[in-house]
Amino acid sequence: MPDRRILVTSALPYANGHIHLGHLVEYIQTDIFVRFQKLRGHRAIYLCADDTHGTAIMIRAKAEGRSEHDLISGMREAHLADFAGFQIAFDHYGSTDSPANRTLCGEIWQALRDRGLVVSRDVQQLFDPQAGVFLADRFVRGTCPKCSAADQYGDSCEQCGATYSPADLVNPVSTLSGATPEVRSAEHLFVTIETLHSFLETWTTSSGALDPRIANYLAGHFLGEPLRDWDVSRPAPYFGFEIPDKPGHYWYVWFDAPIGYIAATSEWCVAHGESLAAWWHRGGGNDPPAEIHHFIGKDITYFHTLFWPAMLEAAGLALPTKVRIHGFLTVNGQKMSKSRGTFLMARTYLDHLDPAALRYYYAAKLSGGIDDIDLNLEEFAAKVNADLVGKVVNLASRTARWLETTGLATTYPDDGGLFARAAADGAEIAAAYEQCDFARAMRAIMLAADRANAYVDAEQPWKLAKAGAAAAEKLQQVASVALNLFRQITVYLAPVLPRLAEQVGDLIGGPIRSWDESQQPLVGLPVGPFQPLMRRVEATQLEALLAAAATQPPSPATLPPQGTATMTESATDSGEPLAAEPLAPECTIDDFTKVDLRVARIIAAEEVPEARKLLKLTVSLGGDATRTVFAGIKGFHEPAALIGRLVVVVANLAPRQMKFGLSEGMVVAASGAGSPGVFLLSPDSGALPGMRLH
User: Comparing C-alpha atoms, which of 158, 123, 124, 166 is closest to residue 142?
Assistant: 166
Closest CB 390 distance from RNA, rounded Å: 3
Closest CB 645 distance from RNA, rounded Å: 29
DSSP-assigned states of every residue in 463-517: HHHHHGGGGHHHHHHHHHHHHHHHHHHHHHHTTT-HHHHHHHHHHTTS----GGG
Site for RNA contains 382 (CB under 7 A): yes
Question: Which is closer to RNA, CB of 216 or CB of 275?
Answer: 216
Closest CB 353 distance from RNA, rounded Å: 13
Site for RNA contains 658 (CB under 7 A): no
Closest CB 269 distance from RNA, rounded Å: 35
What HEC string does 192-211 produce? Answer: CHHHHHHHHHHHHHHCCCCC
Among 176, 439, 614, 680, binds RNA (CB under 7 A): 439
User: Comparing C-alpha atoms, which of 490, 453, 459, 485 is closest to residue 474?
Assistant: 459
User: Comparing C-alpha atoms, which of 619, 627, 616 is closest to residue 600?
Assistant: 619
Question: Which is closer to RNA, CB of 303 or CB of 679?
Answer: 303
Q: CB-based burial of residue 60 (10 Å sphere; 0-12 exposed, 13-18 middle, 19+ buried)?
A: buried
Among 163, 540, 568, 570, binds RNA (CB under 7 A): 163
Site for RNA contains 535 (CB under 7 A): yes
Q: What b/e sequence results for 402-422 when a residue is b if at least 16 CB atoms lie within 10 Å of its CB, and e otherwise?
A: bbeebbbbeebbebeebbeeb
Amino acid at 517: E
Q: How far is Cα 610 from Cα 613, in angstroms, rounded to an integer?
A: 9
Site for RNA contains 460 (CB under 7 A): yes
Among 69, 282, 463, 692, binds RNA (CB under 7 A): 463
Question: Which is closer to RNA, CB of 211 or CB of 313?
Answer: 211
Among 121, 213, 272, 656, binds RNA (CB under 7 A): 213
Question: Which is closer to RNA, CB of 66 or CB of 536?
Answer: 536
Terminal CA-CA length for the chain: 76
- With beta carbons less than 8 A apart as the criterion, state whether 370 and 453 touch: no
- With beta carbons less than 8 A apart as the criterion, state whether 293 and 244 touch: no
Site for RNA contains 536 (CB under 7 A): yes
- Considering only residues 495 through 534, tell me which ones interact with RNA, judged by CB under 7 A: 532-534
Closest CB 481 distance from RNA, rounded Å: 13
Question: Which is closer to RNA, CB of 102 or CB of 383?
Answer: 383
Among 281, 298, 347, 474, binds RNA (CB under 7 A): 298
Question: Which is closer to RNA, CB of 157 or CB of 408?
Answer: 157
Among 224, 285, 468, 563, binds RNA (CB under 7 A): 224
Candidates 28-36, 72-80, 393-401, 539-547: pick the segment binding RNA (CB under 7 A): 393-401
Site for RNA contains 453 (CB under 7 A): yes
Candidates 135-143, 309-317, 438-446, 486-494: pick the segment binding RNA (CB under 7 A): 438-446
DSSP-assigned states of every residue in 391-406: IIIHHHHTTGGGGTTT
Q: What is the DSSP letter of 304?
A: I
Q: How far is Cα 522 from Cα 518, in angstroms, rounded to an integer?
A: 10
Site for RNA contains 216 (CB under 7 A): yes
- With beta carbons less than 8 A apart as the criterion, state whether 521 and 419 touch: yes
What HEC string does 524-552 produce? Answer: CCCCCCCCCCCCCCCHHHHHHHHHHHHCC
Q: How far is Cα 157 from Cα 180, in angstroms, rounded to an integer?
A: 19
Among 208, 220, 529, 585, binds RNA (CB under 7 A): 220
Candidates 123-131, 214-222, 279-287, 566-574: pick the segment binding RNA (CB under 7 A): 214-222
Q: In what order do the strands lie in the sheet with 170-174?
A: 152-153, 140-143, 170-174
Q: CB-based burial of residue 508 (10 Å sphere; 0-12 exposed, 13-18 middle, 19+ buried)?
A: buried
Question: Which is closer to RNA, CB of 455 or CB of 679?
Answer: 455
- Considering only residues 99 through 158, tell me which ones interact with RNA, judged by CB under 7 A: none
At 358 the three-state DSSP class reads helix
Candidates 99-107, 201-209, 398-406, 632-640: pick the segment binding RNA (CB under 7 A): 398-406
Site for RNA contains 399 (CB under 7 A): yes
Among 107, 114, 187, 299, binds RNA (CB under 7 A): 299
Give me the half-sphere count of Cα atoms (radius 13 Å) on the Cβ side of residue 442.
23
Site for RNA contains 539 (CB under 7 A): no
Site for RNA contains 425 (CB under 7 A): no
At 426 the three-state DSSP class reads helix
Please give the helix or strand (H or E) that residue 68 lies within, else none: helix 68-85
Site for RNA contains 359 (CB under 7 A): no
Closest CB 382 distance from RNA, rounded Å: 4
Closest CB 220 distance from RNA, rounded Å: 4
Q: How far is Cα 188 from Cα 466, in angstroms, rounded to an integer?
A: 83
Closest CB 602 distance from RNA, rounded Å: 33
Query: How far does Cα 444 stand from its chain's mean position?
Result: 28
Size of the site for RNA (CB under 7 A): 55
**Binding pattern to RNA, positions 237-266, x when CB under 7 A?**
------------------------------
- With beta carbons less than 8 A apart as the criterion, state whether 258 and 53 touch: no
Closest CB 125 distance from RNA, rounded Å: 19
Question: Which is closer to RNA, CB of 201 or CB of 274?
Answer: 201
Closest CB 387 distance from RNA, rounded Å: 7
Among 398, 487, 598, 637, binds RNA (CB under 7 A): 398
Q: How far is Cα 20 from Cα 1, in angstroms, rounded to an integer?
A: 39
Q: For the chain, what's the residue count?
A: 694
Question: Which is closer to RNA, CB of 339 or CB of 460?
Answer: 460
Site for RNA contains 431 (CB under 7 A): no
Among 132, 245, 462, 574, binds RNA (CB under 7 A): 462
Query: How far does Cα 151 stand from its chain's mean position?
Result: 30
Among 111, 219, 276, 595, binds RNA (CB under 7 A): 219
Closest CB 307 distance from RNA, rounded Å: 14
Between the CA atoms of 551, 546, 85 and 611, what dihedral angle is there, to the nearest 10 degrees?
Answer: 30
Binding residues for RNA, rule: CB under 7 A, are 161, 163, 213, 216-217, 219-221, 224-225, 298-299, 333, 335, 365, 367, 371-372, 374, 376, 379, 382-383, 385-387, 389-391, 393-394, 397-399, 401, 439-440, 443, 446, 450, 453-454, 456-458, 460-463, 465, 532-536
